[in-house]
Amino acid sequence: MSQTEIYDLIIVGGGPGGLTAGIYARRAALKTGLVEKGLPGGQVNITEGVENYPGLESISGFDLSQKFLQHAKSYGLEFIQQEVAAVEPGLDFHTVRLANGDLLNSHAVILATGGSPRKLNVPGEMEYYGRGVSYCATCDGFFFREKTVVVVGGGDTALEEALYLAKIARRVFLVHRRDAFRGSRILQQRVTAEPLIEVLWNTVVTGILANDEGVRGVVLKDTESGSSQELGADGVFIFIGFLPNNQLVPQGIKMDADGYVITDEKCETNLPGIYAVGDLRQKYAKQIITAAADGCTAALAAALSVEMKKAEKMTSKFL
């Protein structure tokens, strides 16, 4: 496409939010491009199993991502495999600058850049990331067959990954800083029923111990007594939530103190024509289905606003 042509909608990010936006936008006949630097699906890809997406009792994250992608492509969504360098708001149209220098001009932009795993920020974590410290159990789990691993966290992801690792490892210690899990009840019950998982309540990891061979253990601190002790382990898997990928959010767009983009109920930011969906947006539940719902909302809102904008232009021509 020539650079003078203007898209109706550019979607930045190809997770569930972005791909759902693509489906709705194409059904509304918007000229739509979706830019994604990695594999479509985003974080869902590294989820071993998804069991809470209605209509699909159990499906792998990778398969679900592929289904989203095929669905969007069946409506003719233009998939642009590129990294975005910047999103530049404009008065007449917005510009999405790609890492290869190409410029995409568009009436509306949906930011669907998702989140990245939050780090513990303890000594040893970054040094041994890839040598025993991991944020992806499906990627690295098999290295720890018949070994001892520590899982850190208490939400859905931590519980799911602890259960996954219990199928591979000899022993799983689940370290949680509170005295109760945040994750869903059904996962809590499964964790409790799993004899290979031992839960260490009111405990935080304050350091990761390692030698030349890689991770050898962790330093644990009891949050009630304040006492510390060492625990031997071959791997440490960290699932303590996500941080929003807000690096591409243009200046002037309102975010909360944690870096999530603030939108109205149409998922529109304070800059007209720029929307934020999924894990990037400030909201209560961060789930595949709520990301998809955001994508739907933003695409419908964008379709209406682009239509109105074009109608206005047509009218002004005749005035």
What's the rounded Cα separation, in Å, for the pair 109 and 94?
Answer: 7
Given the complex with other proteins, which of 149 and 204 has the nearer CB atom?
149
- Half-sphere exposure of 148 toward its Cβ, with a 13 Å CA cutoff? 9
- Annotation says 294 is catalytic: no
Given the complex with other proteins, which of 136 and 219 has the nearer CB atom?
136
Q: Where does this chain bind other proteins (CB under 8 A)?
A: 37-39, 41, 45-46, 48, 62, 83, 99, 116, 126, 128-134, 136, 138-140, 142-143, 145, 212-215, 235
Given the complex with other proteins, which of 133 and 293 has the nearer CB atom?
133
Three-state DSSP at 189 gives helix
- Annotation says 296 is catalytic: no
What's the rounded Cα separation, in Å, for the pair 136 and 121?
Answer: 17
Given the complex with other proteins, which of 38 and 232 has the nearer CB atom?
38
Q: Which of 139, 179, 256, 264 is catalytic?
A: 139
Quick one: DSSP state of residue 78? E
23 CB contacts (<8 Å, ≥6 apart)? 71, 72, 75, 77, 295, 299
**Cβ 121 to other proteins, closest distance in Å?**
15
Given the complex with other proteins, which of 49 and 89 has the nearer CB atom?
49
> Which amino acid, residue 111?
L
- Annotation says 139 is catalytic: yes
What does 13-38 look like in DSSP terms, one character per residue?
A: --SHHHHHHHHHHHHTT--EEEEESS
What does 210-256 look like in DSSP terms, one character per residue?
A: EETTEEEEEEEEETTT--EEEEE-SEEEE-S-EEE--TTSPTT--B-
**Cβ 223 to other proteins, closest distance in Å?**
28
The answer to whether the beta carbons of residues 99 and 83 sit under 8 Å apart is yes
Burial class for 180, CB neighbours closer than 10 Å (0-12, 13-18, 19+): exposed
**Cβ 128 to other proteins, closest distance in Å?**
8
Q: Which of 63, 102, 136, 222 is catalytic?
A: 136
Burial class for 189, CB neighbours closer than 10 Å (0-12, 13-18, 19+): exposed
**Cβ 276 to other proteins, closest distance in Å?**
21
A 10 A CB-CB count for 121 gives: 7
What's the rounded Cα separation, in Å, for the pair 221 and 200?
Answer: 10
**Cβ 199 to other proteins, closest distance in Å?**
25
Q: Which of 63, 140, 156, 296 is catalytic?
A: 140
Given the complex with other proteins, which of 37 and 266 has the nearer CB atom?
37
**Cβ 38 to other proteins, closest distance in Å?**
5
What's the rounded Cα separation, in Å, for the pair 309 and 301?
Answer: 12
List active site positions: 136, 139-140
